Amino acid sequence: MLLQLKNVTKRFGEFTVLDNLSCSVEKGEIFGIAGPNGAGKTTLFNVITGVYQAKGTILFEEHPILKLKPHRICHLGIARTFQMPLLFESMDVQTNVRVGAHFGHRGTREEEKNIQETLEFVGLKDKAACSAGSLKILDKKLTMLAAALATGPGLLLLDEPVGGLSPIEAAEFVKLAKRINTELGITIIVIEHMMRVLIEISNRLMILDNGRKISFGPPKDVVQDPKVIEVYLGV
């Protein structure tokens, strides 16, 4: 297992956001997470990446990471994207990716090569000199993704990557995510509201509700679970 969570609990005051959550992610898979708003999905990403502290145990390649700072976790090989693109909008695309490459590799000689290869892989080579703030939303998401990839992750966390995209753009992003997984060998955890995307992309799927795991397994089995239909689909 690449990532293991054991009895992870996160509270904000009296409000429990993650409730004794345990799960594991296999190396090389695409692991999907879904659930209604407020289920604890993004909080889970924040706990894994060190933004929030929580109780329990999280192991990444057998290393405990729950008490580590975000930069230490990134250097171990975990990168993420956000629901809304977070960029240095006054800088060009290439500089945004350079920030990720420099941070992840800390100034090695391979940094420039890594930047150019990453830009080409995500399809932004021709837009490298464009201001990040002037891009359409798909290209902003791709720039954020490229910066994350440039850190050299073994595990990539994607938080609602197709949100705000057209169906054609969403299909393009899904195809790219599959290539990241198969061609670069990067394990992916993806949060997404669009169930059809998760069914298409995920090897296994976990449904959260009120911070608890209510269903887990192959996507086509999970979406037929009566608990999922009741809680997530609202039927």
pLDDT the model gives residue 111: 85
Give the pLDDT band of residue 232 (cuts 50, 70, 90). low
204-209 and 212-217 strand pairing: antiparallel
Q: What is the mean pLDDT of residues 82-97?
A: 95
Q: Of the candidates 146, 8, 29, which has an alpha carbon nearest to the alpha carbon of residue 88?
A: 146
Instruction: Give me the helices (H) in the chain, please.
Output: 41-48, 70-76, 93-105, 111-122, 137-149, 167-183, 195-201, 219-222, 226-231
Within 8 A by CB and 6+ apart from 229, the residues are 223, 235
pLDDT in tens, 133-148: 999 999 999 999 999 9
- pLDDT of 107 over the 80 cut: no
Mean pLDDT computed over 181-202: 95
Residue range 18-63, pLDDT digits in tens? 999 999 999 999 999 999 988 999 999 999 999 999 999 999 999 9
- Rounded mean pLDDT of 167-178? 96
The pTM (predicted TM-score) of the whole model is: 0.94
* Of the candidates 59, 22, 82, 48, the residue with the CA atom closest to the CA atom of residue 206: 22
Is the pLDDT assigned to residue 123 strictly greater than 90?
Answer: yes
Using left for φ > 0, alpha for ψ between -120 and 50, and beta otherwise, residue 229 falls in alpha
